[in-house]
Every structure is written in C-alpha cells, then in structure tokens.
C-alpha cells in the first residue's frame, strides 16, 4: 500500500505496480487516475480521474485500489 498527498504533488508522478498484472497510476496535484492496466476489463481506467475524498477506482484483476481520502 502506498500513500501520497495529492496536494503536495508538484510534477505528475507515476506509480507502477506489477503483481501479476501491471498497472500504471498517475498522480497530479489534486487528482489521481489509472492510465494503463493490463487487466482484461479496464474498469479501473474507465473510472477516470479521482479528485474528491471518497472517490475510488478499483482494479479487481490486479487487486489494486486507489482511493482519495480526506486528511
Ligand atoms: Zn483494471
């Protein structure tokens, strides 16, 4: 599990996780999203950009969850 403070992101930051299925997540100031995933359904990418606390994107095949939390 990784945590990132979206408010302190200056340059877009890329996170790659590879646990069987590769996913690529990009965090920018105030937003985060899946940009690439080798999963078959691509639901995580279709979820789009997360910006608000409570927003979440889940990639079940790769068991990756991205969620935005309040401080
Ligand atoms: Zn996925």
Residue 11 confidence (pLDDT): 96
Residue 17 confidence (pLDDT): 93
Q: How far is the CA of 12 from the centre of ligand 1 (A)?
A: 21
Residue 12 confidence (pLDDT): 96
- Asked if residue 27 is part of any domain, the answer here is yes
In this structure, what CATH number is given to the domain that contains residue 44? 2.60.320.10
Q: How far is the CA of 29 from the centre of ligand 1 (A)?
A: 23
- Compute the 3-state secondary structure of the chain and give helix, strand, coil in percent, each to the nearest 5: 10, 45, 45
Q: How far is the CA of 5 from the centre of ligand 1 (A)?
A: 23
Position 71 confidence tier, pLDDT thresholds 50, 70, 90 = confident
Q: How far is the CA of 58 from the centre of ligand 1 (A)?
A: 7
- Taking the C-alpha atoms of residue 56 and residue 63, their distance in angstroms, rounded to an integer, is 13
Residue 1 confidence (pLDDT): 75
- Asked if residue 1 is part of any domain, the answer here is no
Domain that holds residue 33: 6-67
Chain segment 3-47, per-residue pLDDT in tens: 999 999 999 999 999 988 999 999 999 999 999 999 999 999 999
Identify the CA nearest to 57 among candidates 41, 71, 40, 45. Answer: 45
The number of distinct structural domains making up the chain is: 1
Q: How far is the CA of 46 from the centre of ligand 1 (A)?
A: 9
């Amino acid at each position: 599990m990784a945590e990132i403070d979206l408010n302190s992101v200056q340059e877009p930051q890329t996170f790659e996780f590879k646990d069987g299925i590769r996913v690529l997540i990009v965090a920018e100031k105030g937003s985060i999203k899946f940009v690439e995933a080798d999963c078959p359904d691509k639901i995580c990418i279709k979820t789009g950009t997360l910006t608000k606390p409570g927003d979440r994107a889940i990639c079940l095949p790769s068991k990756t969850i991205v969620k935005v939390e309040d401080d």
